[in-house]
Amino acid sequence: MDKTIGQKKKTLPFDENVRRLMIILVVLLIVTGVTKSASFVNLSNFQSIGKQLTEYGLMSLGMGICMISGGIDLSTVYVANLSGICAGLIFQMNLPGNVAVGCLAALCVGLLCGAFNGVLISYFHIPPMLATLGSYELFMGISVVLSGGSTVSTQGQIELLSSLTLLNIPLPFLIFIICTVALVCLMGKTKFGTRTYLAGTSEKAARFAGIHVNTTVIKCYMLSGLLAGIAGLISLSRLNSAKADFGTSYTMQTILVAVLGGINPNGGAGRLSGIAFAVVILQLLSSYLNQFPTISNYYRDLIWGAALLLVLVFNVKISQKSGKKKD
Amino acid sequence: MDKKIKKVVKQTEFYILCIIIVFAVIIQIRSGQFFTSNNLMDLVRSMIVPGIYALCALLSFVSTGADVSFPLIAALSAYIAVLAGNTWSLGVVPVFLIAVITGCLIGCINGFFIVRYRFNSLIVTLGTSSICSGILFGAFEAGRTELPEKLYALSKVNIATVKNESSGLGSALPGTFIIMIVLYAAAYFILNYTMVGRSVYALGGDEISAERAGINVKKVRFGVYVVNGGIAAIAGLCYAMMSYFYMPNEYAGAEMLVIAAVILGGTRMSGGIGTLKGCLLGTFLLTMVSNSLILFGISVYWEKVVVGAIIIIGTAISAMQAQRASNPFAVRRKKEA
């Protein structure tokens, strides 16, 4: 706890890790600008970057919250698919007001799935990784059953959600920023946030401090589910279709983003603002690599994996150094 | 005798066995196809590769934590071995050796990060599996590859074939079954009768106590991940042999089901507890469920739902058991305080 108090006393707005990420982002922007200025630094490219990062950015935020509470949520991608499919099916029904109902249903499905995860983890004491592993099979199965194993397509009823731009900023990116700001406030300024950090640091201590750990954990997973639901809607509007096994590689990516963003996978530490920067950095890098047609897309896996391990090592080294300084 | 029965009834393996029997009987009643020679043979056949993977999962869970890298270690090392075998037209043994060595080397990376920096094993293995997939598809641009001639010849050899007289369906048990049996026998011997095997359990049970008891915790943990890489590589080659071709896209995604099977078999996620028997039974149960749903009269679409439900229910039961087992301790400790 000493550490967090120390951090709060600092006058700089972000913690050390986030500042480091910001520096990386600036360096990256300069490098990309210098080497590929014509094709990279233009409005449409940045707009597409902004659109692409929203889906897994939202899921990573959810993953981050769950990690802070001491767990992990492997099911986000499938929750997103399930809510996308539900919304798509309702859109197909041709009822009055079905677009609004569909969107609402997607969000509700997200919340419900999250609550289901939360109950499994808190009341049944299933380790988070296993619970979400099982529920991801379950959610994927339900999606397969609902969609009959095929793609659910829509006629672009909510196309606006992904195509609209306000002041040249794509709407999905705006949604991402709004969600990030709201969640950063939620985790940093409210009782719920503090409780989540405490529950992640030590469940037992939180219990003895009189916190309803179970309720807190359920809320975390519900938040993650809700974010996944929004991501599902955005992906539905972008692709005009939803499928049970869409975006399976996002699971790995969300964990990577959360860890890159400085969230401690063991729980109790990390700032959500770091995740936002990590998402932007990842998507920038990934688009930058796309500029080189000779580099296979699969190299991205290699780079992400290596980056994950390197960042982990780097974080350890940094914390060792600062630990020594204090002594 | 009475105590022995009580002890058996308390084990998770016993429950899994009961569930398997109940499922089997229901399927038999509904379709009359379960206890046929070819169906049973098919089941055994399809649990060979998951069964070998299950060893990796068991070892990592018992000693440290989750390992999700084994399918991609398998894919990468099998590809390198097949490639080397094709270019130098190697025999079976060198191909296996190359695979195992490659697997062990990748396992070293896992072990290094987990032991040296004490990172969460799930995150590290996620990272290495991503690296492996990058190397496999990016650097090697792996695609469907034919097996080296001698390996291909061996893969066509079956140790047993059966034919169902009534339906005319036949099925064969490939030679890879022997590999699985040998691996399990070796694992059984090492885990139960050697110092190394016991220290794997000790280390998962309580690391500090293990260290005090004179076990070199770091060495054992590192060794576990190296061995895991080797076992995964063998599984990768077995998989290629059983499909007669090397197909890189078929590997990824196997990890979740295997982990679920191992946990269902009574392996504790927090370490220190887990048996080979449970491993086999859990794998058998999940293979049975996904293979026999059609016999059960349920549409294939429901496969994932059923598997997910089984994982959740199974883990919930064992988690609650563990909770109950640890509760009396908590009460006693409070009283002492």
> Is the Cβ of A303 closer than 8 Å to some Cβ of chain B?
yes
Tell me what pLDDT residue B328 has.
Answer: 52
Yes or no, beta carbons of A259 and B123 under 8 Å apart: yes
Is B11 in a helix, a strand, or coil? Answer: coil
Yes or no, beta carbons of B134 and A298 under 8 Å apart: yes
Probe site for chain B from A126, A245, A259, A285 (most B CB atoms < 10 A): A126
Model confidence over A262-306: pLDDT tens digits?
887 777 777 888 888 888 888 888 777 777 777 767 777 788 788
Yes or no, beta carbons of B128 and A127 under 8 Å apart: no
Residue scoring higher pLDDT (A13 or B149): B149
In chain A, the residue whose alpha carbon lies closest to the alpha carbon of B322 is A125
pLDDT range class, residue A1, cuts 50, 70, 90: very low
Probe site for chain A from B263, B305, B321 (most A CB atoms < 10 A): B305
pLDDT range class, residue B1, cuts 50, 70, 90: low
Residue B304 CB: number of other CB atoms within 10 A? 23
> Comparing A80-84, B33-37, B40-44, B122-126, which segment has the lowest mean pLDDT?
B33-37
Q: Is the pLDDT of residue B245 over 90?
A: no
Question: How far, CA to CA in Å, does B186 sit from each of B9, B44, B55, B108?
Answer: 27, 19, 11, 21
Is A67 in a helix, a strand, or coil? Answer: helix
In chain B, the residue whose alpha carbon lies closest to the alpha carbon of A266 is B120
Q: In this structure, what token pair is assigned to residue A287?
A: 């688009």
Tell me what pLDDT residue A325 has.
Answer: 52
Q: What is the CATH number of the domain that holds A226?
A: 1.10.3470
Domain count, chain A: 1
Yes or no, beta carbons of A135 and B315 under 8 Å apart: no
Tell me what pLDDT residue B74 has.
Answer: 92
Tell me what pLDDT residue A11 has.
Answer: 47
Tell me what pLDDT residue A39 has.
Answer: 67
d(CA B177, CA B186): 14
In chain B, the residue whose alpha carbon lies closest to the alpha carbon of A135 is B308
Tell me what pLDDT residue A5 has.
Answer: 46
Report helix, strand and coil shares of chain A as percent, to nearest 5.
75, 0, 25
Mean pLDDT of chain A: 80
The CA distance from A249 to the nearest CA of chain B, in Å, is: 10
In chain B, the residue whose alpha carbon lies closest to the alpha carbon of A296 is B138
Question: How far, CA to CA in Å, does A184 sit from each of A2, A56, A181, A288?
Answer: 21, 17, 5, 28
Model confidence over A64-103: pLDDT tens digits?
888 888 888 888 888 988 988 888 888 887 777 777 888 8
> Comparing A1-5, A218-222, B4-8, B235-239, which segment has the lowest mean pLDDT?
A1-5
d(CA A194, CA A15): 17
Residues of the domain holding A289: 2-326
d(CA B219, CA B199): 10
Find the mean pLDDT for residues B254-279: 83
Model confidence over A150-183: pLDDT tens digits?
777 777 667 666 777 777 778 888 888 888 889 8
Yes or no, beta carbons of A312 and B119 under 8 Å apart: yes
Instruction: Count CB pairs under 8 A between chains A and B.
Output: 151
Tell me what pLDDT residue A326 has.
Answer: 46
Yes or no, beta carbons of A140 and B315 under 8 Å apart: no
β-sheet bridge partners, residue A325: none
The CA distance from A41 to the nearest CA of chain B, in Å, is: 27
Yes or no, beta carbons of A301 and B133 under 8 Å apart: yes
Tell me what pLDDT residue A189 has.
Answer: 84
Which amino acid, A143? Answer: S
A153 phi/psi in degrees, rounded to 5: -110, 150
B316 vs A120, A266, A297: nearest CB: A120
Question: How far, CA to CA in Å, does B55 sit from each of A26, A105, B69?
Answer: 46, 42, 13
> Is the Cβ of B108 closer than 8 Å to some Cβ of chain A?
no
> Is the Cβ of B249 closer than 8 Å to some Cβ of chain A?
no
DSSP annotation string for B209-267:
HHHHTT--HHHHHHHHHHHHHHHHHHHHHHHHHHTTEE-GGGTTT-HHHHHHHHHHTT-
B131 vs A125, A127, A306: nearest CB: A306
What DSSP element (H or E) covers B69?
Answer: none
Yes or no, beta carbons of B269 and A135 under 8 Å apart: no
Domains of chain B: 2-336 (1.10.3470)
Cβ atoms of residues B61 and B279 within 8 Å: no
The CA distance from B282 to the nearest CA of chain A, in Å, is: 14
Model confidence over A16-73: pLDDT tens digits?
777 777 787 888 778 777 776 666 667 777 777 777 788 888 888 888 888 888 888 8
Find the mean pLDDT for residues A126-147: 84
Model confidence over B170-205: pLDDT tens digits?
777 888 888 899 999 999 999 989 988 889 898 888
Tell me what pLDDT residue B104 has.
Answer: 93
d(CA B283, CA B48): 9
Question: How far, CA to CA in Å, does B88 sit from each of A273, B84, B135, B141, B152?
Answer: 53, 6, 22, 20, 15
d(CA B215, CA B36): 49
d(CA A61, CA A178): 12
Q: A308: burial class by Cβ within 10 Å (0-12, 13-18, 19+)? A: buried
d(CA B93, CA B34): 37
Mean pLDDT of chain B: 83
d(CA A136, CA B304): 9
Q: In this structure, what token pair is assigned to residue A319?
A: 């914390």
Question: How far, CA to CA in Å, does A56 sit from each of A47, A53, A170, A257, B139?
Answer: 16, 6, 16, 9, 26
For B7, how many CA atoms within 13 A lie in the half-sphere containing its CB? 4
Closest CA to B260 of B281, B235, B283, B278: B283
A42 phi/psi in degrees, rounded to 5: -145, 165
Probe site for chain A from B113, B129, B131, B329 (most A CB atoms < 10 A): B131
